[in-house]
Structure 1
């Protein structure tokens, strides 16, 4: 072998060792080893399933999270952690449209893990984007294909983070007691954001350039972090997609939370006429799968969920509408928006006359019944006023017109109007607010065409799924996805 050949081999070995060394990062709790990914002519190191909290099991069930303890050996962060215990959507068996949102890793209470995607070689002082998933606070997981951070990390040269947080009763049971205060899922997110502040510099991120973003309940969560004094110092900017804390499904009173909590306790055969500490002790003794199988204790209709945020006196200290009106929120730039057809995804889950197997051409009477179901807190006068406002009186009995009108009722009431109110409040207090409306329907979307661009279906574009040839998007969609990633990353970089 020539001297030049030896030098080339040594150089190759040196580079390989250097790359391997970069995959091990020392965090404040221990060393983690990531996996190198080669994509689009670049490298990203994925660190998946890093513990950021102690498992909330046994006496820690229903309690605020505790920081993870230190470990001594290198933690192999090669795969996603467990998904937090949750119900799965089984209404449409073997249908990818709904099942793609179901948890895709084993269910466990030992689920409080964080994921980081780092450009390689490691950057310095790079923008950080922290994703919070949605799911109505009753399901969701950071490991879904939709939320894979590798592509945007590679294309936009940013550090991407996501975390799992508790959902359902295990994350939001609120009994007005220190052992079950409510909002545990939000506190999980807060602890993950604290982890980011302490550790993200080790991954090349700048803790002073952290943007939090989320969709649906994830967007609501972003809003609560903007409102909560506990979170305001942990990030710099925010992106809210299809949700806000003032949405009618995103908050319940303490009285209603206690009513639901006791109904839930009775459903799992725990006493409710004894001191709350005894009720909670009984609830802790029940298997997690039994807990989640019995947690849906409400019969609320469209776009309502059983266990959601409350005023706990620590993380949330007042009604979110009051905070918004008073300007009691973090002052920062905000990007907010929604998709074109926010209501259709929820209409097929119980609105009269709606089905994914048909065109859902509903009658006038079905439209009126749907309006009543969609605004359960409104009296008959309010229902009549809403029906009047949304009726096309030249097409009063037209099935398409009635169907599309009910989509607008559900979308406006539950997403668009509250989010607009939140954004307008921000602007009125002098903050930079950017609004968007997302109307791109993916060419390979499996939901029926009448559903348009449904709730949640901007996410695949912002995370770059159309760039993957195996997913059968068009070239135009890939280019559109690149533009969306650039816009979101540019906002995170500069506001």
Structure 2
């Protein structure tokens, strides 16, 4: 009788659709059902709503608990990305966008249908894109191969971007950080319902670039406690500062003025295109904070609720207070700065010959000469414009990513488990005209983590395929047990400690272990310090456009 009851329960939760096709499955949730499909590598469930669409009067409001659907949800088609002007490679951009974008995608191993009682660990991925671009459904992040090769459930999610996700304005009751709250709402959905898809194990939260920065936000936020067990942060831009509440208000007033609105009703009825146009604004390069904020004008806000400090500072305080942190994998690529330099050059319309001087002085002020001398002593001095751009990209990558990551890893390793890596495999799957061709630029590891180059018409070489499989094995091992060495690995990945400073060095033909990577450069940059905006507070009131303060909206407009 007990066995019969168990089988009936399993059948109620999970059933295979057996009408006229054998490539679909239907999962019964407490409120309705959802049908997913096989892609040959995994079962995929697209466009699952985790909150109500943030449109109309819900624009610029925190996410609400989703309205459960009744009947069956056909999860065949990927969701649109959130509104953006995507400027990266096509395979990393959404094919369509809409404000009705707050959905998540679930990929489960194909063998789940063979044994519905099997329990799987879960990887939840937060995409990058400097908080203004990116999507959970772009070909780059398709998770069919990662799910299949790691025996994990992989979840990808959309969240609001740009001004729609990070606008703050007191007068209109817009608290900011809607994008972070979206992420958390999706994480809560996963925590509550992923067991219906076989996810009954550990949850690993991971992300790249601003996705990794978001992971750090959730690590320091009590509001996200209990929603994950392990974390992976790929290319966290630790030096990039988040805005203070005051500076975010100033940016918000500038945006509203450009939008041409006074009332919240006006703001909530403007077209998406007008919002995207209004959020594009220049920031004068007068100091390092302004220069760095040009990269991420719209980003999480230190508002005292969602975020109380710069995440790096908060995490260092947690280490000092001996707060137990989750097991972590943290790393960077060897050429993180190329994309940043090209982005700033394009945004600020600076001639190439002036770019080196302006960015170097913008970041380091009167210590820029010391920084330049150190690099010239360690490496051959640049002589041509391309060489200056390469040198500048190296310095920027070290300052924004590699050295602050080293500082973070060294500190955390004194009391917690952390594994560190350097990704050195150059990019060869893009056009040779691309500045990052044959360099391990920002995002270089993602096609290997997800194994997706075949989805946009490219093919891995045998060496590249082997590197991808080894990378996925480490990520999968970590998701299963909080250690990259928990399963079968060709090479043991030593946990980081300040004595040996061991890191996994990912390259072909095989990964290897390296020690004390870029110690001399990082010791100097550590001494200079990373201005993360801990004291960056503007007296913004004197800069608020007059017509905005004189037209405070009526209570009913809020």
Deviation at 1:468?
6.6
Structure 1 spans left out of the alignment, 5+ residues: 1-13, 90-96, 272-277
Question: TM-score by structure 2 length?
Answer: 0.74
Tell me, which stretches of 5 or more residues in structure 2 are unaligned? 1-14, 284-289, 483-558
Q: CA deviation at 1:432?
A: 0.2
Structure 1 pair 176–457 and aligned structure 2 pair: CA distance change class (3 A): farther
Post-superposition shift, 1:60? 1.3
1:385 is aligned, of 370, 377, 383, to 370
Please give the residue correspondences for 1:300-379 in structure 2 after superposition, counting only pairs within 5 Å: 301=291, 304-327=295-318, 331-351=325-345, 366-373=355-362, 375=363, 378=364
Which residue matches 1:210? Answer: 203
**Equivalent-residue separation in structure 1 for 2:269 and 2:234 (angstroms):** 38
Contact residue 339 and residue 441 of structure 2 kept, 8 A: yes
CA distances 1:118-138 after superposition (whole Å, capped 9, x unpaired): 113425221101111000001
- List aligned pairs for 1:49-448, cutoff 5 A: 49-89=47-87, 98-104=89-95, 106-122=96-112, 124-176=118-170, 179-206=173-200, 208-244=201-237, 246-249=238-241, 251-271=242-262, 278=263, 280-299=264-283, 301=291, 304-327=295-318, 331-351=325-345, 366-373=355-362, 375=363, 378=364, 380-392=365-377, 395-399=380-384, 401-428=387-414, 430-446=415-431, 447-448=434-435
Deviation at 1:58, TM superposition (A): 1.6
Cα distance change, pair 187–366 in 1 and its aligned pair in 2 (3 A): closer
Distance change in 2, residues 1:160/1:332 (3 Å): same
- The CA RMSD over aligned residues, in Å, is 2.8
Note the C-alpha offset of 1:448.
4.0
Shift of the 15–269 alpha-carbon distance from structure 1 to 2, 3 Å rule, reads closer
Instruction: Between 189-198 and 407-416, report the one with greater CA deviation.
Output: 407-416
Distance (Å, rounded) in 2 between the aligned partners of 1:398 and 1:486: 43
Of 18-27 and 56-65, the range deviating more from structure 2: 18-27
The superposition leaves residues 331-380 of structure 1 with CA deviations (integer Å, 9 ceiling, x where unpaired) of 2100000111001122223439x99xxxx9x76x653233135x2xx5x3
Q: Distance in 1 between matches of 2:455 and 2:309?
A: 45
Partner of 2:485: none
Post-superposition shift, 1:450? 6.4
- Matches of 1:418 and 1:285 in 2, distance apart? 42
Matched residue, 2:476: 489
> Retained in 2: the 8 A contact 1:368–1:387?
no
Shift of 1:147: 0.4
Q: CA deviation at 1:307?
A: 1.1
User: Do 1:342 and 1:454's aligned partners in 2 also have CA atoms closer than 8 Å?
Assistant: yes
Partner of 2:543: none
CA distance 1:309–1:470, change in 2 (3 Å): closer
Alpha-carbon separation, structure 1, partners of 2:324 and 2:99:
32
SS in 2 for 1:349: helix
Tell me how far 1:389 sits from its aligned partner: 3.1
Candidates 437, 440, 447, aligned match of 1:460? 447
Tell me the TM-score normalised to structure 1 length: 0.83
The aligned length equals: 448
Write out per-residue CA displacement over residues 301-354 of structure 1, whole angstroms, 9 at most, x where no aligned residue. 5662211111222221233243122117762100000111001122223439x9
The answer (yes or no) to whether the contact 1:86–1:138 under 8 Å persists in 2 is yes
